[in-house]
Amino acid sequence: MLTKKNILAIFKKNYFLEHLLSLFEDEGIKIEKIKSLKNLNYQIHNKILLVDIDSVKTLKEVEMKLNKNTRNCIIFGFCSNENLKKDNDTIRIINTPILFNDLLNQIKKISFKDQKLNIEPKIGKFFINFQTYELINNSEKKFYKLTELETKFLKFLYENKGGSKIELLTNVWGHNKILDTHTLESLIYRIRKKIEKNTNEPKFLIFKNGRYYLDAD
C-alpha cells in the first residue's frame, strides 16, 4: 500500500500540488510535502519523489541532489516544456497537463516493485542495501559505500545464514580452489571497521564453530 512514508512531493507551484494531492487523497494515498530540494538528504532512500521542473537548471539541481543525497529513489519531474527530455531509470519527465490515471498507474507499479527493496537486512544499526552497495545508519546519519565484493560477501551470509571459509571463497570470489585465507580476512576486517565499535571484539560479523555469521542483535 502506498503511504506518505514512501512518496514525497516538492513543488513551487502550490496550486498544482494541492490539486494533485487532492486527487491522490481520493485514491486513499497521502503524500508528504517537502519545502525545497535543500531539505533532501541521504536519509531519503527507497522513495518516490514528485518534483516540478521548470527549467534545465532545475533539472540539473534535481540530478545533483539525487546523485549526492538520495539513495535508490525514483523521481517524477513535472514540466510544461515539451522539449525537456530526461527519461531513465531514476528520473522520468512528465509533461503537463497530465492524465492523472496514467501517473497513478506508473507510481503503483513502481511502489509494488520496490516493496522488496524496503525490506533491507540490518546489521547492528546499519541497513544493507544490496542494490546500491551501501550501509546506511539513519539514526546517527552515517553512510558507507560497499565494494562489489563486500556486498556479495554480506549477501551470501544473509541469504545462507552463514558460511564457512571455503564456501565464502568459492561463492564470493568464484574460485574452485582454496585461496590464501588472508584475502578473506582482509575483506572481513574492512567490513568490521565500518560496522563494529571494536574490531577485536566483533558483535555483528562473528566467527563461530568454523563459520561466519551476521548477527543483527
DSSP 102-171: HHHHHHHHHHHHHHHHH---EETTEEEETTTTEEEETTTTEEEEPPHHHHHHHHHHHHHT-EEHHHHHHH
The letter for the amino acid at 126 is F
Element housing 164 (H / E): strand 163-164
Task: Let me know: does 8 contact 31? Beta carbons within 8 Å.
Answer: yes
Burial class (CB in 10 A: 0-12, 13-18, 19+), 161: exposed
- DSSP one-letter code for 77: E
In the chain, CATH 1.10.10.10 sits at 122-214
Q: List the single range of 33-42, 128-137, 143-152, 163-172 with lowest mean pLDDT.
A: 33-42
Q: pLDDT-based confidence at 153, cuts 50/70/90? A: very high
Percent of the chain with pLDDT over 70: 74
pLDDT tens, residue by residue, 167-188: 998 888 876 555 567 888 999 9
Q: List the single range of 26-30, 43-47, 122-126, 198-202 with lowest mean pLDDT.
A: 43-47
Cell of 89: 531509470
Q: pLDDT-based confidence at 128, cuts 50/70/90? A: confident
Question: What CATH number is given for 7-118 in this structure?
Answer: 3.40.50.10850
Cell of 61: 539541481
Average pLDDT over residues 153-162: 91
CA 30 to mean position of chain CA atoms: 21
CATH topology (fold) of 122-214: Arc Repressor Mutant, subunit A (1.10.10)
**Backbone φ and ψ of 74, nearest 5°:** -115, 130
Angle, vertex CA 156, rays to CA 150 and CA 158, nearest 5: 100
Three-state DSSP class for 87? coil
d(CA 76, CA 139): 28
Q: pLDDT-based confidence at 118, cuts 50/70/90? A: very low
Reported as half-sphere exposure (CB side, CA atoms, 13 A), residue 142 has a value of: 12
pLDDT tens, residue by residue, 71-97: 667 778 888 776 666 555 567 778 777
Adjacent-strand bridge partners of 207: 212
**Which of 30-34, 67-71, 119-123 tops mean pLDDT?**
30-34
Task: Let me know: does 12 contact 41? Beta carbons within 8 Å.
Answer: no
- At 115 the pLDDT is 47
Mean pLDDT computed over every residue of the chain:
77
Percent of the chain with pLDDT over 90: 17
* pLDDT higher than 80, residue 44: no
- At 204 the pLDDT is 93
d(CA 30, CA 23): 10
Q: List the single range of 30-39, 145-154, 192-201 with lowest mean pLDDT.
A: 30-39
In the chain, CATH 3.40.50.10850 sits at 7-118
Q: What share of the chain is helix, strand, coil (3-state, %, to 5)?
A: 40, 25, 40
